[in-house]
């Protein structure tokens, strides 16, 4: 049941105060009370405490249930957390369909991280039909917002290429550099491993521009030049 945005406000406020003071046991009880009253943020915070075993007994399955409860109460971070749990099989059986649905819900609530994960689902065909073109557009939009994970995935997508997404090593390298500078450790590691190959690929001449019919022009042949 989704209640108003003020649901559970009082216990949620007290819970945050107790958590800040290090009284995790009391904070956990108050977050639970606020969550059950419909406060989505409290459900997400309680879920994280359940994952860490901080102030409450560690319980991954219950954490996922609380994340889903948070998502139903329109807390985007709860949707993202539920999506991660299903995509990784943490506390629940791995389920790409449910993971992608949770990421989509978080994205609709304007969470950049959830939109990035939803875009990756589109690219990889994770729980849905592949759509690399739409994935590229979403990742590019999130990369412009300085989301490091979006920049990393966009860089790899553009380097590898997909139907409708042309390979461009020079562009990919620039995006991966940005991702690394934004703090994406995986982007830094990728560049360290593949920089030499990226440099070689970027140095290759660009493919010829397609003609007005979208077809690449034929390369000149020795026979053709002799006839000229």
104, 21: one domain: yes
pLDDT at 3: 44
26, 98: one domain: yes
- Among 94, 95, 99, 96, which residue's Cα sits nearest to residue 84? 99
Question: Stretch 93-100: mean pLDDT, rounded?
Answer: 96
56, 149: one domain: no
34, 73: one domain: yes
Whether 93 is in a domain gets the answer yes
Whether 125 is in a domain gets the answer no
How many domains does the chain divide into? 2
Question: Stretch 201-223: mean pLDDT, rounded?
Answer: 55
In this predicted model, what pLDDT tens digit does every residue of 64-82 receive, in sequence order?
A: 999 999 999 999 999 999 9
95, 37: one domain: yes
Phi/psi at 161 (5° precision) = 80, 155
Contact 102, 79 (CB under 8 A): yes
Q: In this structure, what CATH number is given to the domain that contains residue 152? A: 1.25.40.10
Whether 217 is in a domain gets the answer no
User: Of 42, 76, 111, which residue constitutes the final position of a domain?
Assistant: 111
In this predicted model, what pLDDT tens digit does every residue of 133-153 receive, in sequence order?
A: 999 999 999 999 999 999 999
> 122 to each of 76, 96, 115, 220, how far by Cα in Å?
19, 11, 10, 39
Neighbours of 87 (CB within 10 A): 21
Angle (nearest 5°) at CA 77 between 72 and 80: 85
Task: Check residue 8 and report its DSSP letter.
Answer: T
Angle (nearest 5°) at CA 129 between 216 and 126: 115
102, 16: one domain: yes
pLDDT higher than 70, residue 222: no
pLDDT bracket for residue 164 (50, 70, 90): very high
40, 91: one domain: yes
In this predicted model, what pLDDT tens digit does every residue of 16-68 receive, in sequence order?
A: 999 999 999 999 999 999 999 999 999 999 999 999 999 999 999 999 999 99
Using CA atoms, how far apart are residues 176 and 188, in angstroms rounded to an integer? 8
Residue 164 structural domain: 131-205
17, 68: one domain: yes
Two structure tokens written together for 203: 């140095």
68, 155: one domain: no
Using CA atoms, how far apart are residues 124 and 96, in angstroms rounded to an integer? 11
Those residues whose C-beta lies under 8 Å from the C-beta of residue 226, and which sit 6 or more positions away, are: none
Whether 224 is in a domain gets the answer no
Whether 227 is in a domain gets the answer no
Angle (nearest 5°) at CA 29 between 28 and 32: 85
Whether 144 is in a domain gets the answer yes
Contact 149, 184 (CB under 8 A): yes
Whether 173 is in a domain gets the answer yes
Indicate the pTM of the whole model: 0.83
Q: Which one has a higher pLDDT value, 106 or 204?
A: 106
Using CA atoms, how far apart are residues 79 and 104, in angstroms rounded to an integer? 8
Whether 124 is in a domain gets the answer no
Using CA atoms, how far apart are residues 110 and 115, in angstroms rounded to an integer? 7
């Amino acid at each position: 049941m989704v209640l108003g945005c003020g649901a559970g406000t009082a216990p949620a406020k007290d819970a945050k105060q107790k958590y800040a003071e290090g009284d995790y046991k009391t904070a956990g009880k108050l977050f639970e009370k606020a969550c059950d009253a419909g406060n989505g943020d409290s459900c997400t915070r309680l879920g994280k405490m359940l994952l860490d075993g901080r102030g409450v007994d560690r319980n991954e399955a219950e954490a996922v249930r609380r994340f889903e409860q948070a998502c139903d109460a329109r807390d985007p971070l709860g949707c993202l957390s539920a999506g991660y749990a299903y995509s990784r099989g943490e506390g629940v059986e791995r389920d790409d369909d449910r993971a992608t649905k949770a990421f989509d819900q978080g994205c609709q609530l304007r969470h950049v991280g959830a939109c990035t994960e939803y875009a990756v689902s589109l690219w990889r065909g994770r729980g849905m039909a592949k759509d690399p073109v739409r994935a590229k557009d979403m990742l590019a939009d999130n990369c412009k917002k300085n989301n490091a994970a979006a920049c990393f995935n966009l860089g790899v997508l553009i380097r590898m290429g997909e139907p409708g997404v042309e390979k461009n090593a020079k562009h990919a390298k620039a995006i991966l550099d940005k991702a690394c500078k934004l703090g994406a450790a995986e982007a830094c590691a990728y560049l360290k491993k593949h920089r030499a190959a990226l440099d070689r690929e970027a140095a290759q001449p660009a493919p010829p521009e397609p003609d007005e019919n979208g077809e690449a022009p034929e390369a000149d042949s020795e026979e053709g030049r002799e006839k000229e």
